Structure 1
Amino acid sequence: MRSLPSGLPDALFAPAPAAERIAFLKGRRFAHRGLHGRGRVENSRAAFAAAIAHGDGIELDVQQSADGQAIVFHDATLDRLTGRSGALADLDAAALGRIALAGSDGETLPTLAEILSLIAGRVPLLIEVKSRHRRPARLCAAVRDALAGYSGAVAVMSFNPEVARWFSIHAPAIVRGLVVTEEKDRNLPGRLRRHLALWRARPDFLAYDVRDLPSPFAAAQRRRGIPVLSWTVRTDADEATVAAHADAPIHEHPLG
């Protein structure tokens, strides 16, 4: 079973977006968590400024603070990237804003609103909503509210199909994506789960694990007009895979 018969259920339950809606996603390189390394910490102001200077779009992550704000940070816990330990969600935005990013030049954890002001529409932006909960409405609402009035090209995405589902209902003007990996889930139940997630999310694009490309599922969606971005591109071989099977890389492999 490569896909469901003729792709008809996919077209019915997850129709492809208008081409102009997702045009900004194609042919663009996105720096994964900003252009980090060489003294720049992931998801930091310095990493985002470097991506802008390099002409790359930006991919970043948001977690929910105790007071329901969208905080730009990848991990659910503070341990790896700060001198603190414990769950990010246990602290409010003000407290998080006083915690330094380890290895940075005095940077602290920013809110999404702060980073939107920094980017200011200069490059396209992908916001990955990190949600372990089936009902991510509070964080989704925080992202939507932060984006109110933002005029730059932007899309949200998540592994959790409920995130894209929420935006399709409550903020349909915002481009939305589904993040996909087939790792350890390539059998028949896994293929069915991917279709069910697609139908639930109704995404405008897919962000696909580069290790899974080429993928019959990704190729089928791409053929019918749903762009495929791919993460995390780190090597020349990954670049070649994306060139052949996707529309844009989310990379840690800057060219030029």
Structure 2
Amino acid sequence: MAKLQELYRLQQLDRKISRIEEELDSRDLLAEQEEVKIEIAELKDKLAANKEKEKELNKKLKNKEFDDSRLETQLNEYQEQLYDGENNVKELEQLQKKINEIKKQQSQLEDEILDLMIELEEVEANQAEIKQDLEDYQLKLNKLQKSYKEEQSELSIELEEVKQKKESLSEAIGDDLMAEYQKLKEKKHGLAVVELQDGYCMGCRVGLPAKLIEDVRRGNQIFKCERCGRILYWTDNE
């Protein structure tokens, strides 16, 4: 009976080992990390595109401001000529016409400069938002990676402890019974030892003969289900 109890406990350890190994191989946390990495990559692309747009706008703004400065210089020159008293009426009219044209160009340039400045402000605000999102996602990724490493470490330690317990039990059970258990385990999808409850084998759910039930209850030796061939185990609550 003691050997059977140990065998039943060993099977529980085996199932625990399988569960831990499944958790160690689980891709859920890694999948979540990959999703965050994709978000980070997309944000970096957005940030790069936004910076390029900012660069282009600054270049346009600089050119417009240069044009405005050039027009202002021309305007000052024409205004000086207009009031220096050295021009006839026709020349004065031409100068005034040029001055009016420059002022018109300046007005248009000022509107364009204002539009560029507004657009540049929007781009800079968008850039700040992208940077904040990028920082948030990076923090999220760092936390996920830390949690993953901690969980993997804890599971690895737990797995080693369970394996050591299994090794000790295996030695106590003996080679012959372990070989039989291992063979059944492989054949029966990891379930070699099953409980006997209310006269039924919990492996295949088939009712068992009264004599077999009594033999299992006594626990003098190993008995198997007549249908599925699994080792039957009598529990205290039976």
Greater C-alpha radius of gyration: 2
With CA pairs under 8 Å and 6+ residues apart, which has the higher RCO, 1 or 2?
A: 2
TM-score bin, normalised by smaller chain: under 0.3
More helix per residue: 1 or 2? 2
TM-score, normalisation: structure 1: 0.24
More strand per residue: 1 or 2? 1
